[in-house]
């Protein structure tokens, strides 16, 4: 090995070859050192790679301010009492006024017996009092637990039962929507109006009881068991994150950060707290404004917003508003995979774009990637924030090779305290850092990533989100991104469903851009130009809007069941032969009814199901029918007619030229066979092409002899 590489100096200077050469030499040396050791146990990283991945690419250390977030706000109120802290539809609130509300709410909570370590459930309207309440709860050393009044009652009941809050703070108008579970309720807006000043005079200003170890909030996320689980974030977790983001975004007193995310989604913490930490303004969108693209676009313009954060799904919705202008806005996007097309569109609109990534369990965001030019590919999720450690590890917790896919593990000061009351799950997801000897923990994200040469992370997918369609692995996100690149599509979602036979099939859902009408037929043909047959959805539905969760993410569970693929106006089969064929197709596709003019391939048929159908047809009718007949007569009525009049195609399905569709006025399309030599797979292409185009498949010679 040494001789080979020493004899080829031209290889040097090419990083990939240099690295592989060094690894081969290292591996050879270790094999010689211990010839009896299994190869799987050998260390494959070069010393240079270990230095990069475990030292140089860690987030830079940063000292976290000892003062709590409420204490820092109090200092801001003394320094700039007249500066605008919160901008809202009903007006604005200065730092001095916001601090007065914090004092008042804190006094009310103390009067109700709230102490450090308590949990306080919050279901308040989106107005400045909400922000004051969150700060007051944290000042007392308690943790807030967000509830969604519009969410499912059962889920809210589970959260209350699990969190065991001392109080539930809500508006009287939402009383009936929050399940009763024996928790004392306080109608906070009314209490502030009626008793706030009196209680504050009686109890005085409350000292800051927060410490780095006290919890700031408990946020409930989806659980694999079907019940939500509460992630407990400490004051130090939150402060470290906010200071790291201030280093990245550099907000100043003139900045205006749009707060449009519901409190039950953790990224709301960035929108609400970072502006206050920097002495800037929070532009607080109320419930009547969020999820309305036109109104949000107007709000961004009216309030001269400088920073706006949203998920890709929500950004697609906002981009559908023609009024949206992002000039001068630093666009932040995260929470879902960001495709190249959306990234390019956002960059063109504002020229200031950053992608963020991070699970709730590591405090909002953990990585950032600033996009300084028009994205030409799917952007990476970037580098770690300060005080964040990233590891890409294999199943036995060893670092993967540079460029190899592994599971992302996150350490550092953002790692949450854990899940409330879930010791077994904590032991599974929060584990000891194998590269630290001081008892630090890392969180297993379940996300598949890889390191790039430049020290950025690329997101590959979840460890559990791939599906198999007819033996092929499919990433639904790829189909979604392709659909969303079409000019008529605002948002797209692809979901795998099990049909009545228990087999997986892909269903696509889209919403149209404002002023456009998405056509399923055109989109099917568009997809066929980019994707292989097994990735083409069996059904494609146009919805007015795609459902979103309260946090602005696509709500896949709320997507409707796939509609029966369109096959034109339904007409019942005529005669016993057509009825038998329709029943056969219903059995094959697992849905019905099938009409006499429905097309086999438009119903989702492909070369595999065509071969299956012809075999079953032969068993049922005792007639051998060439496969070419189905290609030429793909409807129930057409195939029945060919069976009745005996004019079944004599085309040899193994001939060098296979006719898939005759006739038509346009130039014919000739499809060259794939590596196996057969051209049958192109039958699935027919439903995506104009009916006036003749189609032929060129097949390998000698297939008949091989059969």
For residue range 87-129, list pLDDT tens digits in order. 998 899 999 999 999 999 999 999 999 999 999 999 999 999 9
Residue with tokens 């961004």: 300
Q: What are the backbone angles phi and psi of residue 521, rounded to the nearest 5°?
A: -65, -45
With bands split at pLDDT 50, 70 and 90, how would you rate the model's confidence at 678? confident
For the ranges 67-71, 175-179, 558-562, which has the lowest average pLDDT?
175-179
For the ranges 193-202, 356-365, 583-592, which has the lowest average pLDDT?
583-592
Q: What are the backbone angles phi and psi of residue 668, rounded to the nearest 5°?
A: -70, 155
With bands split at pLDDT 50, 70 and 90, how would you rate the model's confidence at 2? very low
- In a 13 Å sphere around the CA of 248, the CA atoms on its Cβ side amount to 31
Residue 567 has pLDDT above 50, yes or no: no
Average pLDDT of the residues in 326-341: 90
Residue 502 has pLDDT above 60, yes or no: no
pLDDT at 606: 62
pLDDT at 377: 86
Total H helices, total E strands in the chain: 21, 29
Comparing CA positions, the residue from 311, 280, 283 lying closest to residue 298 is: 283
Rounded Cα gap, residues 429 and 232, in angstroms: 14
Average confidence score pLDDT of the chain: 84
Rounded Cα gap, residues 410 and 364, in angstroms: 12
Compute and round to an integer the Cα radius of gyration of the chain: 31
Comparing CA positions, the residue from 704, 685, 703, 705 lying closest to residue 695 is: 685
For the ranges 190-194, 218-222, 442-446, which has the lowest average pLDDT?
218-222
243-262 as b/e: b if 16+ CB within 10 A: bbbeebbebeeebbbbbbbb
Higher-confidence residue: 496 or 325?
325
3-state secondary structure of 316: helix
Asked if 441 and 432 count as a contact pair (C-beta separation under 8 A), the reply is: yes
Residue with tokens 């456009």: 516
pLDDT at 11: 43
Cα dihedral 529, 532, 538, 539 in deg (nearest 10): -30
Rounded Cα gap, residues 416 and 441, in angstroms: 9
What is the DSSP pairing of strand 441-451 with strand 457-462?
antiparallel
Residue 568 has pLDDT above 60, yes or no: no
Distances (CA, A) of 93 to 60, 137, 304, 314, 416: 36, 19, 17, 27, 32
The token duo for 371 is 């996009």
Asked if 600 and 627 count as a contact pair (C-beta separation under 8 A), the reply is: no
Edge-to-edge strands of the sheet including 167-170?
A: 184-187, 167-170, 119-123, 143-146, 215-221, 229-234, 418-419
Higher-confidence residue: 136 or 526?
136
The secondary structure element, H or E, covering residue 240 is helix 235-249
Residue 565 has pLDDT above 60, yes or no: no
pLDDT at 15: 55
Rounded Cα gap, residues 512 and 553, in angstroms: 18
3-state secondary structure of 459: strand
Q: 10 Å Cβ neighbour count for 201? A: 9
Concatenating the DSSP letter of every residue in 476-537 gives HHHHHHHHHTSTTEEEEEEEEEE-TTS-EEEEEEEEEPTT----HHHHHHHHHTTS-GGGS-
- Share above pLDDT 70 across residues of the chain, in percent, rounded to a whole number: 83
Going by C-beta distance under 8 Å and a sequence separation of 6 or more, which residues neighbour residue 226? Answer: none
> Tell me: the pLDDT tens digits for 613-633?
766 676 677 666 666 677 667
pLDDT at 706: 46
With bands split at pLDDT 50, 70 and 90, how would you rate the model's confidence at 685? confident
End-to-end CA distance of the chain: 47
Asked if 525 and 689 count as a contact pair (C-beta separation under 8 A), the reply is: yes
Q: 10 Å Cβ neighbour count for 561? A: 9
In degrees, to the nearest 5, what angle opens at C-alpha 286 toward C-alphas 285 and 291? Answer: 80
pLDDT at 226: 46
Distances (CA, A) of 415 to 139, 335, 589, 599: 22, 17, 48, 55
> Tell me: the pLDDT tens digits for 457-478?
999 877 655 565 654 546 787 7
Does residue 673 have a cis bond before it (omega within 30 degrees)? no
Listed in order, strand segments (DSSP E) in 164-310 are: 167-170, 184-187, 215-221, 229-234, 256-259, 281-284, 307-310
The token duo for 164 is 């065991």
Higher-confidence residue: 546 or 151?
546
Comparing CA positions, the residue from 261, 112, 253, 115 lying closest to residue 188 is: 112
Name the β-bridge partners of 418. Answer: 232
Distances (CA, A) of 123 to 69, 117, 133, 144, 231: 21, 20, 11, 10, 18
Rounded Cα gap, residues 138 and 145, in angstroms: 11
Residue 246 has pLDDT above 70, yes or no: yes
Q: What are the backbone angles phi and psi of residue 73, rounded to the nearest 5°?
A: -65, -40
Rounded Cα gap, residues 175 and 153, in angstroms: 12
- Share above pLDDT 90 across residues of the chain, in percent, rounded to a whole number: 42
Rounded Cα gap, residues 612 and 683, in angstroms: 14
Rounded Cα gap, residues 370 and 354, in angstroms: 4
Residue 387 has pLDDT above 70, yes or no: yes
Name the β-bridge partners of 139. Answer: none
The token duo for 535 is 């990735």
Higher-confidence residue: 366 or 682?
366
Ordered alpha helix ranges (H), 34-124: 47-51, 69-79, 95-111
In degrees, to the nearest 5, what angle opens at C-alpha 495 toward C-alphas 492 and 497? Answer: 150
Name the β-bridge partners of 539. Answer: 507
DSSP 8-state assignment for residue 64: P
Cα dihedral 617, 621, 624, 627 in deg (nearest 10): -30
With bands split at pLDDT 50, 70 and 90, how would you rate the model's confidence at 421? very high
- In a 13 Å sphere around the CA of 185, the CA atoms on its Cβ side amount to 18
pLDDT at 22: 67
Cα dihedral 345, 349, 355, 361 in deg (nearest 10): -100
């Amino acid at each position: 090995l040494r001789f080979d590489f020493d004899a080829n100096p031209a290889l040097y200077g090419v990083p990939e070859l240099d690295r592989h050469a060094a690894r081969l030499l290292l591996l050879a040396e270790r094999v010689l050192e211990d010839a009896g050791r299994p190869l799987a146990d050998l260390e494959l990283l070069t010393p240079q790679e270990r230095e990069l991945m475990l030292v140089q690419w860690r987030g830079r250390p940063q000292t976290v301010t000892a003062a709590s977030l409420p204490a820092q706000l109090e200092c801001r109120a003394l320094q700039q009492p007249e500066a605008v802290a919160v901008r809202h539809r009903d007006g604005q609130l200065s730092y001095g006024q916001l601090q007065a509300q914090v004092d008042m709410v804190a006094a009310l909570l103390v009067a109700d017996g709230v102490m450090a370590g308590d949990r306080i459930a919050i279901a308040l309207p989106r107005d400045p009092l909400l922000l004051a309440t969150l700060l007051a709860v944290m000042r007392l050393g308690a943790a807030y637990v967000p509830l969604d009044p519009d969410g499912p009652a059962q889920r809210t009941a589970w959260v209350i039962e699990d969190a065991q809050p001392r109080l539930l703070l809500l508006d009287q108008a939402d009383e009936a929507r929050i399940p009763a579970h024996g928790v004392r309720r306080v109608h906070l807006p009314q209490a502030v109006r009626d008793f706030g000043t009196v209680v504050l005079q009686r109890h005085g200003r409350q000292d800051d009881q927060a410490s780095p170890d006290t919890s700031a909030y408990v946020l409930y996320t989806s659980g694999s068991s079907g019940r939500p689980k509460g992630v407990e974030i400490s004051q130090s977790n939150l402060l470290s994150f906010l200071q790291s983001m201030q280093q990245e975004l550099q907000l100043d007193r003139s900045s205006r950060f749009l707060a449009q995310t519901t409190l039950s989604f953790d990224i709301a913490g960035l929108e609400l707290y970072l502006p206050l930490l920097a002495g800037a303004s929070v532009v607080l969108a109320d419930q009547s404004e969020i999820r309305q693209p036109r109104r949000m676009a107007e709000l961004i313009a009216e309030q001269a917003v400088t920073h706006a954060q949203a998920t890709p799904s929500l950004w697609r919705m906002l981009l559908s508003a023609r009024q949206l202008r992002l000039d001068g806005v630093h666009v932040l996007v995260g929470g879902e995979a960001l495709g190249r097309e959306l990234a390019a569109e956002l960059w063109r609109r504002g020229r200031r774009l950053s992608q963020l990534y991070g699970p709730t369990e590591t405090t909002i965001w953990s990585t950032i990637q600033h996009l300084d030019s028009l994205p030409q590919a799917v952007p990476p999720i970037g580098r770690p924030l300060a005080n964040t450690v990233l590891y890409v590890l294999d199943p036995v917790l060893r670092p993967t090779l540079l460029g190899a896919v592994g599971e992302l593990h996150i350490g550092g000061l953002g790692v949450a305290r854990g899940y409330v009351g879930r010791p077994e799950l904590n032991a599974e997801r929060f584990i000891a850092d194998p590269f630290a000897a001081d008892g630090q923990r890392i969180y297993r994200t379940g996300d598949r990533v890889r390191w790039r040469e430049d020290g950025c992370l690329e997101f590959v997918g979840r460890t559990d989100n791939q599906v198999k369609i007819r033996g092929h692995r499919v990433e639904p996100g790829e189909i979604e991104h392709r659909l969303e690149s079409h000019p008529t599509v605002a948002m797209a979602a692809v979901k795998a469903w099990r049909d009545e036979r228990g087999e997986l099939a892909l269903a696509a859902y889209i919403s149209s851009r404002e002023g456009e009408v998405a056509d399923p037929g055109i989109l099917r043909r568009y997809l066929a130009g980019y994707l292989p047959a097994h990735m083409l959805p069996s059904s494609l539905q146009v919805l007015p809007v795609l459902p979103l969760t309260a946090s602005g993410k696509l709500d896949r569970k709320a997507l409707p069941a796939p509609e029966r693929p369109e096959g034109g106006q339904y007409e019942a089969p005529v005669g016993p032969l057509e009825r038998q064929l329709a029943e056969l197709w219903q059995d094959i596709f697992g849905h019905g009814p099938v009409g006499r003019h429905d097309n086999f391939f438009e119903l989702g048929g492909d070369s595999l199901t065509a071969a299956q159908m012809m075999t079953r047809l032969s068993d049922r009718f005792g007639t051998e029918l060439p496969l070419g007949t189905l290609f030429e007569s793909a409807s129930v009525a057409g195939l029945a007619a060919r069976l009745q009049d005996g004019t079944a195609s004599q085309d040899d399905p193994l001939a060098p030229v296979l006719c898939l569709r005759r006739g038509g006025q346009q130039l014919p399309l000739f499809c060259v066979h794939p590596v196996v030599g057969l051209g049958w797979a192109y039958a699935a292409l027919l439903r995506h092409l104009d009916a006036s185009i003749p189609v032929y498949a060129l097949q390998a010679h000698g297939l008949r002899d091989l059969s």
